[in-house]
């Protein structure tokens, strides 16, 4: 009888251990509830409806855009400089008229994603993101990166980078 109770307790402990270590379901294309950015990766936007004064740099088929909650620093000669603390977006065109947010770059320490900020400790970042199913990519360049689906996140002491590697087929 004691053997059966011991085996039953052991089985229950193992079941509890395996269910508590499971990853949480997370759709990386959905903006985290705690994030106050205006846009998120994979958002499709109408570029004509954006405030043209918030465009920072243009490239062929892409442009950098300052979040509407921030303002440029305007130099004496009228040049625009990004504020030290802000959110910017990389916006790319893959098909005629279709513009997609492919990057969110955060330098404002008050902004959080999934409960994490630029001030979070690395072991906390790793624990939380891996619990959501992100794969730790070790050090990719100067900072650790985490990947899930077509998204890559880097949280460093000076910035947060969220990049979306979408694939459009015409």
- Render pLDDT for 50-86 as a digit per residue (tens, 0 to 9): 899 999 988 888 999 999 999 999 999 988 999 999 9
Q: What are the two backbone dihedrals, phi and then psi, of residue 11, each rounded to the nearest 5 degrees?
A: -65, -45
* Predicted pLDDT at 13: 44
* Predicted pLDDT at 14: 40
Q: 141 in the Ramachandran plot: left (φ > 0), alpha (ψ -120 to 50) or beta?
A: left
DSSP states of 2-58: HHHHHHHHHHHHHHHHHHHTSPPP--TTSPPTT---S--TT-EE-GGGS-GGGEEEE
């Amino acid at each position: 009888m004691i053997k059966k109770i011991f085996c039953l307790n052991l089985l229950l402990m193992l079941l509890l251990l395996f269910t508590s270590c499971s990853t949480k379901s997370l759709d990386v294309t959905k903006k985290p509830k705690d994030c106050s950015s205006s846009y998120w990766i994979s958002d499709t936007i109408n570029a004509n409806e954006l405030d043209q004064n918030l465009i920072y740099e243009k490239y062929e088929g892409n442009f950098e855009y300052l979040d509407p909650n921030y303002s440029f620093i305007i130099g004496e000669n009228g040049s625009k400089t990004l504020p030290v603390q802000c959110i910017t977006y990389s916006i790319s065109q893959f098909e005629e008229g279709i513009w997609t947010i492919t990057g969110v770059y955060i330098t404002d320490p008050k902004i959080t994603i999934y409960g994490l900020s630029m001030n979070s400790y690395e072991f906390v970042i790793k624990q939380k993101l891996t619990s959501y199913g992100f794969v730790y990519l070790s050090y990719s360049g100067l900072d650790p990166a985490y990947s899930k689906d077509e998204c890559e996140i880097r949280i460093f002491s000076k910035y947060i980078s969220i990049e979306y590697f979408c694939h459009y087929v015409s």
